[in-house]
Structure 1
Amino acid sequence: MSDRTDRIEPRSARRRGTVDYMRAAGRRSNVHGLVEVDVTEARRRIEAIEAETGTAPSFTAFLVCCLARAIEDHPGVNAYRDWRGRVHVFRAVDVNVLVETTVDGERMGVPHVVRRANERSLRSIHDEIRAAQDAEDPTALSRWAELGLRLPGFVRRLVWRLPQWLPERWTDVAGTVAVTSVGMFGAGGGWAISPTNYTLQLTVGGIGERPAFVDGTLAEREILNLTVTVDHDIVDGGAAARFVNRLCELIEDAHGLEPQADGHS
């Protein structure tokens, strides 16, 4: 018998699902863009709202709000191709967000779909994300999900082919686009690149400070590292570039953080 203190732990059913997802996502024609966005004004407004109301708007909710508006201006990125080769362009922007929560004393990111984000205010999105964070156990799986994750791997991975086969069914379950974050678990700047099964995904990195010229004056600015991932089989490079430019404009203009927009539902 070995007296080493190594541990052997069973792999959870949820982890098996993550492995299946990553393998399926790795087969897509994903293109990653590493973007730097000035969020100084957005962060200033968030601090001002917190000082005035006692509650800071969620930064994730702010990004979801900007993303939904940018997609309304460029709806071609909110699309999937079905098994017949037809492209389904969706009007509703359903955003799958990675919500930070605590389960059994451990911080983790849990997916939650914000439905019709393009028809909602930042405050409404913020309230939903906070409610998801406070849910009793957001990691709990249904009985059928538990049974499904115990099936052989090649059968389980068929589920992740839904975007290619049945886009409408996929979006009913998982939303149309995704926002995931690595910045919530660390400090400072930095990007992350991740496979994804979505046509469009934002991976939120860290925020760092650096000097930059603003109106001819050198000033310290807060810069967000953002990875924009698109499926090149569906979205052309020019369309992706125009979408990214619009998204960056909205973020830098602190879209949705205007005082008069805060009270809308």
Structure 2
Amino acid sequence: MDDRDHRGERIERVSPRRRGTVDYMRAAGRRSNVHGLVEVDVTAAREAIRTIEAATGDAPSFTAFLVGCLARAIEDHPRVNAYRDWRGRLHVFDDVDVNVLVETAVDGDRIAVPHVVRGANRRSLRSLHDDIRSAQGSTDPTELSRWAALAFRLPGPVRRLVWRLPQWFPRRWTETAGTVAVTSVGMAGSGGGWALSPTNYTVQLTVGGIAEKPRIVDGELEAREILHLTVTFDHDVVDGAPAARFVDRLRDLVEDGHGLDSWNGR
């Protein structure tokens, strides 16, 4: 419902989901987030995806492809798949559980909702793709329970205590929300550009736009498709040099089209 006055102003009630977003952003903004703005050449990867689709009528989603690359990069640098608890200890997890924002229908509107892809480092690209597509096809994969709806009506300072779960109970947090996150702003627009967002995760990828830019390839100037990717780290867990090595590995995997050659083999 909304209220209107004689001036034509419309006052809308804030939904419980929006309160949750506000709480999350305020809590995440208190963390030691460091952002890396990365350009990744995705020309070969996107061409491979188009080739697969032309040949089979079916192709992996770009989000699933990035999730697979992220999971493999973390396998090579496992200490970034961790949380620091309130006692200063690191909890390092074997499974890479990726929290992905997927666009789906909720109450007749298209909105982005979180979905956790479990054990992404142990799964094929086809499995990751099917998991994400299934979440997108759900009418509401995060339907609020009666107790959750009541919790959103609590005062803000009380509600925001839940976002301290990574420090208090890291294992419980991963069971609820995963170990790392991927969010995309590029899916809603066109052109290049980065986005910076605070996060409650030790590692988060924020997928920006793709723009055509000139690059030197084998000594020749070419127009290439460049993805703008923001990699955010919790500096309380990950230092600069390990973060840089992780980003280099992730870039190599994306530019090499990791996992795409096995798509037809499922």
- Interval containing the TM-score (normalised by the shorter chain): over 0.9
Q: Contact conserved, 1:26 with 1:196, CA < 8 A, in 2?
A: yes
Q: Contact conserved, 2:181 with 2:205, CA < 8 A, in 1?
A: yes
**CA separation in 2, counterparts of 1:3 and 1:24?**
38
Q: CA RMSD in A?
A: 1.3
Task: Report Cα offsets for 1:157-178 as digits up to 9, x if no partner.
Answer: 1100001111101000000000
- 1:58 matched to 2:61? The reply is yes
Amino acid at match of 2:180: V
Alpha-carbon spacing, 1:226–1:53, altered in 2? closer, same or farther (3 Å): same
Give runs of ≥4 in structure 1 deviating > 6 Å: none
Q: How far did 1:261 drift?
A: 4.6
- Where structure 1 has 5 or more consecutive residues not aligned to the other structure, the ranges are none
**CA separation in 2, counterparts of 1:262 and 1:15?**
40
**Aligned equivalent of 2:146:** 143
Amino acid at match of 1:190: G
Task: Report Cα offsets for 1:159-205 as digits up to 9, x if no partner.
Answer: 00001111101000000000001001100000000010000000000
- 1:40 matched to 2:43? The reply is yes
Alpha-carbon spacing, 1:105–1:147, altered in 2? closer, same or farther (3 Å): closer
Task: Work out the number of aligned pairs and report it.
Answer: 263
SS class of match (1:92): coil
SS class of match (2:12): coil
**Aligned equivalent of 2:243:** 240
- 1:249 matched to 2:252? The reply is yes
**CA separation in 1, counterparts of 2:99 and 2:40?**
21
**Aligned equivalent of 2:104:** 101
**Aligned equivalent of 2:137:** 134
- 1:5 matched to 2:8? The reply is yes
**Aligned equivalent of 1:155:** 158
With normalisation by structure 2, the TM-score equals 0.96
**Aligned equivalent of 1:263:** 265
**CA separation in 2, counterparts of 1:169 and 1:104?**
29
With normalisation by structure 1, the TM-score equals 0.96
Q: How far did 1:85 drift?
A: 1.4
- 1:225 matched to 2:228? The reply is yes
SS class of match (1:158): helix
Aligned equivalent of 1:26, options 24, 29, 43:
29
Q: How far did 1:104 drift?
A: 4.4
**CA separation in 2, counterparts of 1:65 and 1:196?**
21
**Aligned equivalent of 1:200:** 203
**CA separation in 1, counterparts of 2:34 and 2:17?**
27
- Where structure 2 has 5 or more consecutive residues not aligned to the other structure, the ranges are none
**CA separation in 2, counterparts of 1:214 and 1:95?**
33
**CA separation in 1, counterparts of 2:139 and 2:94?**
32
Q: Contact conserved, 1:62 with 1:256, CA < 8 A, in 2?
A: yes
Q: How far did 1:247 drift?
A: 0.1
**CA separation in 2, counterparts of 1:146 and 1:105?**
19
Q: Contact conserved, 1:97 with 1:111, CA < 8 A, in 2?
A: yes
Task: Report Cα offsets for 1:98-134 as digits up to 9, x if no partner.
Answer: 1122334533211100000000011100001000000
Task: Report Cα offsets for 1:2-27 as digits up to 9, x if no partner.
Answer: 53222111001111111110010001
Task: Report Cα offsets for 1:236-260 as digits up to 9, x if no partner.
Answer: 10000000000000000000101x3
Q: Contact conserved, 1:100 with 1:184, CA < 8 A, in 2?
A: no
Q: How far did 1:137 drift?
A: 2.0
SS class of match (2:10): coil
Q: How far did 1:154 drift?
A: 1.2
